[in-house]
Each structure stands twice: as structure tokens, then as C-alpha cells.
Amino acid sequence: MKILPLKCKKPLNKEVLKKYRDVQIIDSRFVAGREHIEFAISQAEKAFKRGENFSNDFFIEVLARASAQRQIKKAIEIFGLRNSREAILICERLPEQILKEYECEEASLEIDEEKYERIKELFGIDEKEIRTAARSGEKKKNVLKNIVKDRIALIPAQA
């Protein structure tokens, strides 16, 4: 599975997903790095193998897992495209047409302070939890990524 962070000149919206069905494109504003998406993909694969998936569509399952939500509607509210210029493309085969049509180039998934605060708020993480989970000398952004992965792993199989 390919994970490609993008910065596009033309905004991406849900129409892109209707046009290109073999991809998932999510808004990257709340993504805690590549590890976050890799872990969501891994958890979605495991859910399908165990029959614990809550979507019949693998890419929707990844979206739900990335948002640490069982409710697909809520996952779309969090990571869905809303005229996003910064997004993450998840696919088996890279659709060059999307990159050309929306004038996209590869971007960074770096977590700056503003993104750090957005991710904390979305996943209900406070500084006390980060301090508690941190090992000596560990950077708070890495701790945040690990806590987000914990939230994903804790999604119950059955509601």
C-alpha cells in the first residue's frame, strides 16, 4: 500500500473519490505522521482478516481506523476532503492522473505546534497524558504519535 502526502494547487473534495474509486484521499490536518496511517492500514487489514471490519470497503475501514472511530460518518467528518489542498493519498497503484489534474506534489507530514494541538484536541489527549506516557528524553511529538496509535488499537470490534 502506498502512502503519499500531497500538497495540491487545486483543492481536493469528495468528487475526486467518486472519480477515482481505487484510492483513499484524506485531509492531512489531523494526521500524526506516516506511522499513524501505516498503523491504520495495518489495523484495517487485521480487521478484515478477523472479520471485525465495520465497513465493506477497505479504504473506508482505513479512514475509520485512522480517526479511531467506529462510526463511518464521524470518521468522514474528521478526515473527509473539504476542498483540501493538503491531503494523503492511499492506494495500491499511484494514479498519476490525480497528481496532474490537481497539480499535486509530494509534501511533508511533519507535525508543527499548531498541528500538534489540533491532534491532541481531536483525540482527547492532554499534556498530562503525554508526560505520563513519555519515556525519559522522548520527544512529545513521538509520544503523541504513539498515543494516537493506542487510540486506534483500542477501537472495539463490536459496538
Position 140: which residue type? K
Beta bridge partner(s), residue 86: 7
Q: Identify whether 53 is part of a domain.
A: yes
Q: Identify whether 159 is part of a domain.
A: no
Using 50 as the pLDDT threshold, list the residues of the chain that sit under it.
Answer: 158-159
Q: Identify whether 73 is part of a domain.
A: yes
DSSP sequence for 69-100: -S-HHHHHHHHS-SSEEEEEEEESS--HHHHH
Q: Identify whether 158 is part of a domain.
A: no
Domain range for 105: 2-153
What's the pLDDT score for residue 88? 95
Q: Identify whether 80 is part of a domain.
A: yes
Q: By the 8 A CB rule, do 77 and 6 touch?
A: no
What's this model's pTM, rounded to 2 decimal places?
0.90
Q: Which three cell numbers stand for residue 132?
A: 505520563
Contacts by 48-53, CB closer than 8 A, 24 or more apart: 50/157, 52/157, 52/158
Q: Identify whether 107 is part of a domain.
A: yes
Q: Identify whether 40 is part of a domain.
A: yes
Q: Identify whether 17 is part of a domain.
A: yes
Total domains in the fold of the chain: 1
- CATH number of the domain within which 146 lies: 3.30.2380.10
